Amino acid sequence: MTGGPRPAVFLDRDGVLIEDTGYPHDPAEVRWIAGAPEAVARLNRAGFLVFVVTNQSGVARGLYPDEQVGALHRWMSERLAGAGARVDAFEHCPHHPDAPLPAYRRNCRRRKPAPGMIEDLLRAWPVERAGSFLVGDKPSDLAAAAAAGLPGHLFPGGSLDAFLGGILR
């Protein structure tokens, strides 16, 4: 792979890579979506940059500290590496406009449906927009993609690898 720009896939986390069990934050609770590591490995092989963009208002709600989000992402990276898969960068937004914790009470430009996390990744990485897309499980994910000028695909559940295989075909 040369160092030139590459298309990127932006993945929501909860409901796309891991089950959305309601603010998952403890590795012991995590259940992977079927085919998720295989899907990431498939994207790696196809030459995509792979990013995770996840709202984590559980931080703003005081359910877990911000450091726990990074810890979970490091754990996910290790498990993915064991399956030969790599996420190039994780981005999360800990904010919420009605947060009980004042430090995180903000109408953040990075909180989906706003496109800030995607925009920041587009700025920081050599992304080729043509061929790039997002996969999410909620309309707010697709709205963030649209606001960033990228197509979005709504993951209906089942195997993420089969779903991505269909998109890439």
Q: Which of residues 107-136 bind Zn ion (CB under 5 A)?
A: 108, 110
12 classed as catalytic: yes
- Taking the least distance from each CB to Mg ion, the nearer of 6 and 12 is 12
CB of 161 to Zn ion, least distance (A): 30
- Taking the least distance from each CB to Mg ion, the nearer of 12 and 161 is 12
137 classed as catalytic: no
Element (H, E) at 168: helix 160-168
CB of 61 to Zn ion, least distance (A): 13
The helix, strand and coil proportions of the chain, stated in percent and rounded to the nearest 5, come to: 40, 20, 45
Beta strands in 67-142 (DSSP E): 89-93, 133-136
How many alpha carbons lie under 13 Å from residue 98 in its C-beta half-sphere?
0
Segment near Zn ion (CB under 5 A), from 20-28, 48-56, 91-99, 129-137?
91-99
Does the protein bind Mg ion through residue 15 (CB under 5 A)? yes
Exposure of 124 by Cβ count < 10 A (0-12 exposed, 13-18 middle, 19+ buried)? exposed
Q: Which residues are catalytic?
A: 12, 14
